Structure 1
Amino acid sequence: MTTDTGSGGAGPGLETEPAGGAGTGPVVTPSWRGGFGRLWSAAVLSRFGDALRGAALPLLAVRLTDDPLLVSLVTACGYLPWLLFGLVGGAVADRVDQRRAMWAVDVARAVLMAAFAVAVVADRAAIVLLLVLAFALTTLQTLFDNAATALLPTVVPGPALSSANARLMTGQQLAASFAAAPLVPVVLALNAGAPYLLNALTYLVAALLVASLRAPVSRPSRPGGRTLRRDIAEGVGALWRDRVLRSLCLGDALASVGMGALIAMLVVHVTDWLAAGESGYAAVLTAYGAGSVAGGLVAGRVTRWLGQARALVLLMVGQIGCLLVLGSVRHLAAAVVALGIFGVAGMIWNVTEVTMMQQRSPAGMLGRVSAASRTLSAGSAPLGAVLGGLAAGLWGPHTPVLLTAALFLAAVPVLIPALRAPDTGTAPPAGP
């Protein structure tokens, strides 16, 4: 986060907390009152419902079919819409009222989930229905996520963006890892359709919270007759012209390939190479979740102390070290510690990257810039999953982790141009 909190004090809607180090100044945080509290509640509630559905859906898939390819296609359908519609979703998010787009999408998702819950209860669910549901939900998500990224800076003043992003992501991680995950067996015991019905309810409540926001949404006027294609091209061009955002996007794409390999093969790494079984797998996931929460709590202070770009490079180097330990030390305790620290660094990275994008994107173009970056990132992860599977088959179950480390290492020099830019946290002027 930028070290400049503004010459006029904290400003309306802000609170300050003592900084973690000498000479860093106060950490500016968003007020829970008003728009941010409602937006945070909506985001955390939606993530809670999504986590319930995300845990229950694979179990339903393997019950409906024993074909591994069909099961894997459910995951693939969760990525494909980003490649097909991600850029369009960003362009639309910059054209419309983001609040209205978000609550309308949540209502649509609630209807889909309620209908799916009825199908599950009536024993009418088939694997094809799961594929269609995954594709439809992610298609709607391309608009929702880009609109949410563009909306936050209108609800929270600029100096508090880093803290706001950290609180949002930390709350979502807590909801997914420590609230939803333990409840999945309980909810499934009630009824096979219960997780999906509960997810529909969380969408409805989140829609009401977002619809109640009163923060004005201001977007620069756009000449009539503009096409979505031109809007998309402007967003991609703005991302590419800004050397900081460009380096972040390319570095993130390389890291996403590695994360695809890591996520796809982590269960094999733990249960096969470490011989730690399902309990060991649960332990490393819990460590990663706890580390992510801890990272969210300190993200603002870390970036204020190191500077945004420098923090990103150092975090990447730290994650490489964690991956090397994970891929070379054949002991569960080492894996738990490594993934815990990996989670801390990963959360701080995510908070910092999103904040920098919000700060540096030209006015009225944040949805499109965010979409361009997310589309490349989402398209990279499936490639990593395939590479991870190939590496495990050819050289052993621990090699996907080492492959991830190599890809993270390749991303470090890509991030170097970001270090040469001033850490001002201000958006550059829009391009021609």
Structure 2
Amino acid sequence: AVLGVADVLAATAGSALVPAAVAREHRPRVNAWTVGAETVGQEFAGPFVGGLLLAAGTGLALGAIGVTYAAAALLLVLLAGRFRPAAPAPGTPAVPVNTRIAEGLRLLWRDPVLRTLSLTAAALNAVWGAWLALMPLHAHQAMGLGPGEYGFLLSGLGIGGLVGAATVTWVNRLLGPRRAMLADLLGTCAMTALPALTTSLWAVAAGAFLGGMGGTLWAVNSRTLTQHKVPDALLGRYTAASRLLCYGALPIGTAAAGLLAELLGTRTVFAVISVLALTTVIPFLRRVKAADLTGTSAP
């Protein structure tokens, strides 16, 4: 529980740190490197090294985790500087923490672009939660996959994420950030629709690849958009409010998918969540403009 709370604090602080440490024109590249590092660590290096360590012994695996966290803490010592918003003027009354939280929520809800961005991400997270919950059962019962084939299917997510992190700068130059984020919405539709349409391993793995790649394109560009639009002093509060909404949708999507699968079957639920993913396209296109993603829109 303590580690889970600390992870949220670290992620929120990390996203708020980037604008203070990095000039505006370099933020897309820095966000791409950050998301790429997260993808490599979470999807590839972490599971692979963790599996090897666990095979060598549980004590060794747990001890290595402690050493890794200690090394990460030491690396932060190298981060020189005090990256804080401007201090309030002398004599300014202290603001209660609940008021600060409310400021982040109001900012999220009153700004149409930020509200659309957060609600879209929440819908996509619900879809991803449903996909991840249903895929093991669907792969075993409907597709007849063994452990090795299922591992190949899931690797499509990680490979797609890594390719997205490596090519996001090129994709943004080719399509523009807005169309790159739209590609994520369409990729998520493909990822969820293909299991409803076919039992082909290659087709479903290709959909997972598109979903993983699109997820990285969305993550990089949505972080950059947020850093452009939200004042530095409110960035941590906004990020916390947005994460509450977005990550709160994950267990909702998971639970709803399980219930519907009991009643309708997994293929029908995949079709339903693909329609849900598709419904995010029109609000996104109506509210999020290219100027918002380049930081040229009026504040």
Whether TM exceeds 0.5 here: the answer is yes
**Match of 1:157?**
23
Structure 2 residue matching 1:212: 3-state secondary structure: coil
Where in structure 2 are the equivalents of 1:11-410 lying within 5 Å? Answer: 135-222=1-88, 223-410=92-279
Consecutive unaligned residues of structure 2, counting only runs of 5 or more, are: none
* CA distance in 1 between partners of 2:231 and 2:110 (Å): 11
Distance in 2 of aligned mates of 1:428 and 1:233: 24
Deviation at 1:426, TM superposition (A): 5.5
TM-score (norm. length: structure 1):
0.65
Q: TM-score, normalised by structure 2?
A: 0.92
Contact 1:271 1:280 in 2 (8 A): no
Q: Distance in 2 between matches of 1:394 and 1:251?
A: 27
2:291 counterpart residue number = 422
> Residue 194 of structure 2 contacts residue 204 of structure 2 at CA under 8 Å; is this kept in 1?
yes
- Aligned length in residues: 295
Identity %: 29
Cα pair distance change 1:332/1:421, threshold 3 Å: closer
Q: Which secondary structure does the structure 2 equivalent of 1:406 belong to?
A: helix
Contact residue 258 and residue 403 of structure 1 kept, 8 A? no
3-state secondary structure, aligned to 1:422: helix
Structure 1 runs of 4+ with >4 Å offset: 426-429
Shift of 1:428: 6.2
Q: CA deviation at 1:427?
A: 8.3
**Cα 1:403–1:273 shift into 2, 3 Å:** same
- In 2, distance between residues paired with 1:139 and 1:428? 36
TM superposition shift of 1:284: 1.1
**Alpha-carbon distance in structure 1 between the residues aligned to 2:146 and 2:56:** 27
Amino acid at match of 1:241: R
State the one-letter code of the partner of 2:108.
L
Structure 1: gaps of 5 or more residues? 1-134
Structure with more contact order per residue of length (Cα contacts < 8 Å, sep ≥ 6):
2
1:331-359 deviation digits (Å, cap 9, x = unpaired): 11111111112211111111111111112
CA contact (8 A) 2:190 2:210 kept: no
Deviations 1:134-181 (A, max 9, x none): x22111222111101011222222111111111111122122333222
RMSD value, Cα: 1.9
